Structure 1
Amino acid sequence: MARLTKKKKEARAKVEKNKLYSLQEASNLVKEVTYTKFDASVDIAVRLGVDPRKANQMVRGVVSLPHGTGKDMKVLALVTPDKEAEAKEAGADFVGLDEYLDKIKNGWTDVDVIITMPSIMGKLGPLGRVLGPRGLMPNPKTGTVTMDVAKAVSEVKAGKIDFKVDKTGIVHAPIGKASFSADKLADNAQELISTLIKLKPSTAKGSYVKSIFMSSTMSPSIAVDPKIN
């Protein structure tokens, strides 16, 4: 069992057991219990009352965080030559087609998001075994398969993220960095939670938002009251 360091003990001592914090309180506290020397990522985990095994209870969507994620998202635009200029102008880090398809085939996935066009999806199908497990396969539902490539690239660069409930019914998503103000973290978290509530499947019964936890890299988790959001 790993030994608790002094900083870990101090951080844990600041989080009251069995207490449900408001989003604002949790956002203030997560900054206090973050002790990394680097600018830690702040994440939120929302457990939903859905059965992801049922297609009509799969929760997936996108949200534009009002204050961004604080991370410089690396975007690959797989486009035809006539779309390359607008993709580059919008801020895509990598732009092209065949050369990048070959790189992906050989295992290259050093990007955060891939944006492409409907006509190119057929070429990406065989690469599903590489892109799928990493969550990089473009999808029309998340706006990453579109003819408006410039808009899609700009939105991702500005803080648009996609999320998907995992097999245990939990949605994990980044909401910023520890250097963000508590107000900005709370705003981003509220936007994500509000979006999830709007996506509640009609077939989901009982309590929908079961629990919410906020944490930063290596920090203890902070329980957020799901009933007040």
Structure 2
Amino acid sequence: MATGKNIKKAKEAIDRSQLYSLDEALELLKSGAFAKFDETVDISVRLGVDPRKADQMVRGAVVLPNGLGKSVRVLVFAKGEKAQEAESAGADFVGADDLAEKIQGGWFDFDTAIASPDMMGTVGKIGRLLGPRGLMPNPKVGTVTMDIGKAVQEAKSGKIEYRVEKAGIVHAPVGKVSFDAQKLKENIVSLMDVLIKAKPSAAKGTYLKKITISSTMGPGINIDIPQLQALIK
């Protein structure tokens, strides 16, 4: 099977015991990509935090300078002037109770949801449906806001949300394999800069424990953390 051979070949090109500079890792990732589609490039960062403790939760959002290489479908819960603002900014779906009813009926053809503060009563009723899918608007990441236009534009231009999982790992997309290596590098450095600044004061010991990048079909490539930190000003 050709795919199996390709996966084996990609794995053999990477020394799992070695830590690579970001430039080396991106070169390996791009040269080893074999899928017939434009694979997503992901980063996994294992943090020295205990997410079960509220004072060690790491969560936020960042606008990647070079976007994600895909069109983002943005849904906005708003009425009146805020609804018009959302439409003018390029939101794909704008509404209120009508959208909530569609979602209750099982419709989820959107990638991110934004809401004006006055709509949170409506949004709260479908929180159990939005929450598990990572679609619940939240003021901490700027998706519950009065500045609807800005939020829509940021989402469209490549804003990603990150949240540490139970195992202490943050997973995030940082672009596509087709991206120039420099653009991927800039996206990764931007995300890492924000993650480092988000270190909880309650977190003790080593904060950045392991960083790995991979493409959708490719193996993980371990990153040399001190070298990566040196890129972040």
Give the match's secondary structure for 2:125.
Answer: helix
Deviations 1:86-145 (A, max 9, x none): 211211111111211101112211211101111111111121111010000000011000
Give the match's secondary structure for 1:220.
Answer: coil
Give identity over the alignment, percent: 55
Q: Is the 8 A contact 2:42 2:214 kept in 1?
A: yes
Q: Which moved more, 1:14-23 or 1:172-181?
A: 14-23
Deviations 1:46-101 (A, max 9, x none): 00000000000000011111101112111001101222222112111111112111
Deviations 1:181-209 (A, max 9, x none): 11111111111111100010111011000
CA distance in structure 1 between the aligned counterparts of 2:16 and 2:214, rounded to whole angstroms: 15
Amino acid at match of 1:134: R
Q: What is the match of residue 118 of structure 1? A: 117
Q: Is the 8 A contact 2:16 2:221 kept in 1?
A: no
Q: Is the 8 A contact 1:116 1:138 kept in 2?
A: yes
> Gapped runs of 5+ residues in structure 2?
none
Say whether 1:39 aligns with 2:41: no
State the TM-score, normalized to the length of structure 1. Answer: 0.96
Give the match's secondary structure for 1:92.
Answer: coil
Structure 1 vs Structure 2 CA RMSD: 1.4
CA distance in structure 2 between the aligned counterparts of 1:127 and 1:31, rounded to whole angstroms: 41
Q: What is the match of residue 64 of structure 1? A: 63
| Equivalent residues, number | 228
Say whether 1:165 aligns with 2:164: yes
Q: Which moved more, 1:196-205 or 1:24-33?
A: 24-33
Give the match's secondary structure for 1:5.
Answer: helix
> Gapped runs of 5+ residues in structure 1?
none
Runs of 4+ in structure 1 deviating by more than 2 angstroms, as ranges, are none
